[in-house]
């Protein structure tokens, strides 16, 4: 006897269709699974056998062969337990029929319960693209899959309930879920920039970074509020659009980091890995590559505190994702690409003791120690950071005063106005903000007034800017002009943008 049904596997964060075939013949008893399965899939035969017996069925004496097609592509994870179970029952003539227009995924427990699996949102998107109308998923994954409009999602709690649905005795009610209800409540943060006393220059830099999606480096002595500022950056970022929410949720789904109660991300990610993180922890990895911290921060912020304390090879990995917006993980078994459109926010001290350049406290470090410390952050990485911001010690009057700073809500309104200008400007181009502006569009979008061109030319020659730094100064100038409501980039916009490129000359080139 022969049976087959549809399922889906995960490659990177994308799903691919898998046909689960099963045959049964009168021969030496055996149960084989072929089609490049991993260890978790090979072990599924034991879970399937247990579930078959507990559900009152039996495995007749004979050879069962299960094939996961296409056989040339590796499959990972326990998501094929449920389709293998159904295919085996059908092949042994214990299940009358299987729907041809449905797909199944789910992990089996030994008691017949259906456990959740990773990557269901990507599978649901691919099922819709393939024209499959019905998708049977574990109950805990049902809301996640129902985000995909036009796909009927059936939540399956256990094998008994599924079999009752298939024979028509007790149909399962499809899940109806409106993800816009979750997205409507986004951008509620406990941390507010009003909590930060003083630091008006740094707050202005944060506003520019949020308005244009620019990378940011905060450098200053200990206790000046660098981490405090960076952790409040999400409070002035726009809400995720529905498209961005789907992109980011797919990554978290594949990584197994979604909650059943919150099946779609409603706020921009803020990832802050410890400085001991490995290169694989940043990019992702494993025999079946899963997303790392860079991709988990997609459409959000990756915050690296104590930047020079990170391993040099881990920091250098950032260079390609910051430039291309994707990170590629290559392994012997294959490669996977993960999206990494991130804002990089970093904070660091100017020297090992932290007080190099402090107005009142003496630095105890030797020039060699300072140079060695700063050289842990390479020039090419610095070149990819748009805003270099010095965070000075806070004045006593700011700390002891009763007045609080400007709130995140007030700053967010200016950021949203600037982003609205960019949305209109880049409509239909795929560009989301000024920081993502490709070189081909740069000259057309960043039109300079004559005075602004002279200022930028003088800065380029005086500071020895690279071609990349020139482009990034233009993009920051464009954002400052958008915040000012100016269609053209004026000289004052360029001057403000250029001042955010001075710290590498102050610290790195003189260390």
Q: What is the DSSP string of 236-280?
A: GSPPPPHHHHHHHHHHHHHTT--BTTB-S--S--EE---TT--HH
Q: Among 77-81, 162-166, 318-322, 330-334, which stretch is predicted with the lowest mean pLDDT? A: 330-334
Q: pLDDT tens digits for 435-460?
A: 999 988 988 899 899 999 999 999 88
* Residue 60 pLDDT level (bands cut at 50, 70, 90): confident
- Residue 188, pLDDT score: 66
- Residue 511, pLDDT score: 45
- Residue 379, pLDDT score: 87
Average pLDDT, integer, range 194-207: 88
- Please identify which residue in the block is written with the tokens 């620019």: 214
- Residue 276, pLDDT score: 93
pTM: 0.91
- Residue 187, pLDDT score: 61
* Residue 192 pLDDT level (bands cut at 50, 70, 90): confident
Q: Rounded distance, CA 295 to CA 286, Å? A: 15
Average pLDDT, the chain: 90
Measured on CA atoms in the order 110, 106, 152, 250, is the torsion positive or negative? positive
Average pLDDT, integer, range 394-400: 72
Q: Does 330 score more than 80 pLDDT?
A: no
Q: pLDDT tens digits for 270-291?
A: 999 999 999 989 998 777 788 9
Q: Among 139-143, 185-189, 254-258, which stretch is predicted with the lowest mean pLDDT? A: 185-189
- Residue 504, pLDDT score: 67
Query: Which DSSP letter does residue 505 get?
Result: I
Q: Which residue has the higher pLDDT, 184 or 502?
A: 502
Q: pLDDT tens digits for 258-270?
A: 888 888 888 899 9
Percent of the chain with pLDDT over 90: 63
Token digits of residue 338: 């993960």
- Residue 502, pLDDT score: 79
Q: Which residue has the higher pLDDT, 382 or 509?
A: 382
Q: Does 402 score more than 70 pLDDT?
A: no
Paired strand residues for 153: 135
Measured on CA atoms in the order 146, 152, 155, 159, is the torsion positive or negative? negative
Q: Are 455 and 480 in contact (CB under 8 A)?
A: no
- Residue 189, pLDDT score: 74
Strands (E) across 168-221 are located at: 216-219
């Amino acid at each position: 006897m022969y049976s087959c049904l549809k399922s889906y596997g995960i490659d990177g964060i994308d799903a691919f269709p898998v046909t689960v075939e099963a045959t049964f013949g009168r021969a030496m008893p055996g149960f084989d699974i072929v089609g490049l399965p991993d260890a978790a899939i090979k072990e599924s035969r034991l879970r399937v056998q247990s579930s078959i017996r507990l559900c009152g069925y039996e495995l007749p004496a004979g050879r069962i062969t299960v094939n996961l097609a296409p056989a040339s592509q590796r499959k990972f994870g326990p998501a094929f337990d449920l389709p293998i179970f159904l295919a085996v029952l059908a092949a042994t003539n214990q299940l009358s029929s299987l729907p041809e227009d449905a797909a199944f995924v789910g992990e089996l427990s030994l008691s017949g319960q259906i456990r959740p699996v990773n990557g269901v949102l990507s599978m649901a998107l691919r099922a819709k693209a393939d024209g499959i109308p019905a998708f049977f998923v574990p109950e805990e994954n049902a809301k996640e899959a129902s985000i995909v409009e036009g796909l009927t999602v059936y939540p399956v709690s256990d094998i008994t309930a599924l079999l009752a649905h298939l024979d028509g005795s007790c149909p399962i009610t499809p899940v109806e879920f409106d993800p816009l209800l979750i997205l409507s409540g986004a951008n509620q943060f406990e941390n507010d920039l009003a909590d930060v006393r003083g630091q008006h220059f740094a707050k202005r830099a944060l506003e520019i970074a949020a308005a244009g999606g620019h990378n940011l480096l905060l450098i200053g002595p200990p206790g000046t509020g660098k981490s405090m500022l960076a952790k409040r950056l999400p409070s002035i970022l726009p809400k995720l659009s529905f498209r961005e929410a789907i992109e980011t949720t797919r990554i978290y789904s594949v990584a197994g980091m979604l909650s059943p109660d919150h099946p779609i991300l409603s706020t921009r990610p803020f990832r802050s890995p410890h400085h001991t993180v490995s290169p694989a922890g940043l990019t992702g990895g494993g025999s079946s590559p899963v997303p790392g911290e860079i991709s988990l921060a997609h459409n959000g912020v990756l915050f690296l505190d104590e930047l020079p304390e990170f391993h040099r090879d881990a920091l250098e990995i950032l260079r390609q994702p910051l430039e291309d917006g994707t990170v590629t993980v290559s392994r012997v078994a294959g490669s996977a690409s993960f999206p990494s459109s991130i804002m990089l926010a970093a904070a660091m001290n100017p020297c090992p003791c932290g007080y190099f350049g402090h107005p009142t406290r003496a630095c105890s470090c030797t020039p060699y120690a300072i140079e060695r410390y700063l050289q842990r952050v390479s020039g090419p990485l610095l070149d990819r950071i748009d805003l270099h911001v010095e965070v000075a010690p806070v004045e006593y009057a700011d700390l002891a005063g009763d007045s609080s700073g400007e709130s995140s809500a007030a700053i967010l309104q200016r950021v949203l106005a600037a982003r609205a200008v960019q949305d209109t400007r880049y409509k239909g181009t795929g560009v989301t903000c000024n920081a993502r502006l490709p070189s081909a569009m740069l000259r057309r979008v960043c039109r300079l007034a004559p005075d602004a061109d002279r200022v930028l030319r003088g800065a380029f020659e005086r500071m020895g800017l690279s071609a990349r730094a020139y482009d990034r100064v233009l993009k920051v100038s464009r954002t400052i002009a958008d915040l000012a409501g100016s269609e053209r980039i004026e000289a004052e916009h360029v001057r403000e943008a250029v001042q955010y490129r001075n710290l590498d000359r102050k610290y790195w080139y003189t260390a």
